[in-house]
Amino acid sequence: MNPATLSLIGLLVVIVASFSAKLNVGVLAVAVAWPIAMYAAGWKADALMATFPSSLFLTLLGVTMFFGVAQTNGTMAALTQRALRLFAGHVAMLPLLFFVFACAMSTVGPGSIATLALLAPLAMAGASRAGIPMFLTALMVGNGANAGNLSPFSTVGIVVASAMERVGLGGHEWAVWAANFTAHALAALAAWALFGGPKLLREHRVVSFDEPARLERNQRITLVVGAIWVTAVVLLKVNLGFAAFAAAALLILLRAGDDGAMIKAVPLSVIVMVCGVSVLIGVLEGTGGMELFTSLLASVATPETVNGVMAFVTGTISTYSSTSGVVYPTFLPAIPGLVEKLGGGNPLQIAFSINVGAALVDVSPLSTLGALCVAALPAGHDPARLFRSLLLWGFSMTIVGALFCQLFIGFFAR
């Protein structure tokens, strides 16, 4: 069997394993890539090591270390408590607050998983106290966290930007964010209208939250350093990852955080997953397996339907698999070959469709976001009921995402 076919089989094995395997699929991907590259394709070890995405690794590490400090010194939790206090007394405004604040926090940099890990317990407890449906709360906070997840400062946004730049589609980071935000905002608005929002408006109920404690010295320093970091990246165009290393180091030197706690907060499993799968994709490209992969994708789409088809396919896989660790690193590099095989299609629109379609299903309880909402459910509520509701929602989003991308993605990808 030739190396191209072996590499494609290896990729399919990793994708299937990502549905249920306990082993980190990044580790599996490298283990699979090694014999295919060195023994089937005859590569040297240096050639295989060159497929490791060192730039992406350093960027992810730097960003997650900075937010590791912000998380462990209580800065993120303090901001969350203040946001809940902001709309005290207005129950009907709380679902909106959950969406807006989760989106804002995720956009600034922690990403959807870290945001939801901090916000979901507070949001679910506050919603229970205010009499807001748990399903509506989970959808608003989950969609909010995911709505900001593709910003240039987010871990997942960095993965997407890196993959798009590799195929010649760089420079569209904020347009990617806008498309993803719009899709999730529309989904959240539909959830609000269908699952209790109008009723909350009619009831005019009130609730109050305790006054949050004053920001501590370490938290104030973290906010100032974070603001300087974001400003330098946006206005001065400094490198995101290297600037994040400098910001994290400054926080530790100023004794605003502990380096041991910072390192422990880094999501190494996610970084290993993303970088490991990227190594296998590098082997797939180098052995000709990517051409076979794009041929398979082209067999189920046409230039006219490719946006919707890719959103549906990636959404379906993302329901069971890791969006950032498996779906994005696998499908985004296939875009140039897919367009060539189809004989048409807009590469940028296809990339946006992959990004949005894969993300929109992530409130499913089979994904980390939905699971965090179920885990944060207060006592007295039925977790099995919430699980079933979120599962149905996640599956329905495969179709919603496909329709959104087929009909509207062209407004964002120009």
How confident is the model over 249-271, as a mean pLDDT?
92
Among residues 32, 39, 37, 1, the alpha carbon closest in space to that of 14 is found at 32
Task: Indicate the helix (H) or strand (E) that contains 84.
Answer: helix 75-86
**Is residue 180 one of the residues assigned to a domain?**
no
Q: What residues contact residue 260 under an 8 Å CB cut-off, 6+ apart?
A: none
**Is residue 26 one of the residues assigned to a domain?**
yes
pLDDT value at residue 208:
66
**Is residue 3 one of the residues assigned to a domain?**
yes
Average pLDDT of the chain is: 90
Highest mean pLDDT among 44-58, 201-215, 262-276, 357-371: 44-58
Q: For the chain, what is the domain count?
A: 1
* pLDDT tens-digit series, residues 276-321: 999 999 999 999 998 889 998 999 899 999 999 999 999 999 988 8
**Is residue 367 one of the residues assigned to a domain?**
no
Class of residue 202 by CB neighbours under 10 A (exposed 0-12, middle 13-18, buried 19+): exposed
CA distance 286 to 263: 34
Among residues 266, 289, 271, the alpha carbon closest in space to that of 159 is found at 271
**Is residue 150 one of the residues assigned to a domain?**
no
**Is residue 404 one of the residues assigned to a domain?**
no
Q: Is 373 in contact with 124 (CB distance < 8 Å)?
A: yes
pLDDT value at residue 245:
96
Measured in residues, the chain has a length of 414
Amino acid at 361: V
* pLDDT tens-digit series, residues 147-165: 999 999 888 999 999 999 9
* pLDDT tens-digit series, residues 63-119: 889 988 988 998 888 877 777 676 555 777 888 888 998 999 899 877 888 888 878
CA distance 402 to 374: 26
CA distance 263 to 207: 39
**Is residue 212 one of the residues assigned to a domain?**
no
Concatenate the DSSP letters of all residues of 195-234 into one string: TTHHHHHHH------PPPPPPPHHHHHHHHHHHHHHHHHH
Among residues 403, 383, 397, 335, the alpha carbon closest in space to that of 128 is found at 383
How confident is the model over 179-187, as a mean pLDDT?
97
CA distance 22 to 63: 26
Domain containing 32 equals 1-50+270-284
CA distance 61 to 59: 5
DSSP 172: -
CA distance 232 to 325: 28
pLDDT band at 21 (very low <50, low <70, confident <90, very high): low
More confident call, 201 vs 412: 412
* pLDDT tens-digit series, residues 220-254: 999 999 999 989 988 888 998 999 999 999 999 99
Examine the pLDDT at 22 and tell me if it is beyond 80.
no
**Is residue 123 one of the residues assigned to a domain?**
no
CA distance 193 to 276: 42
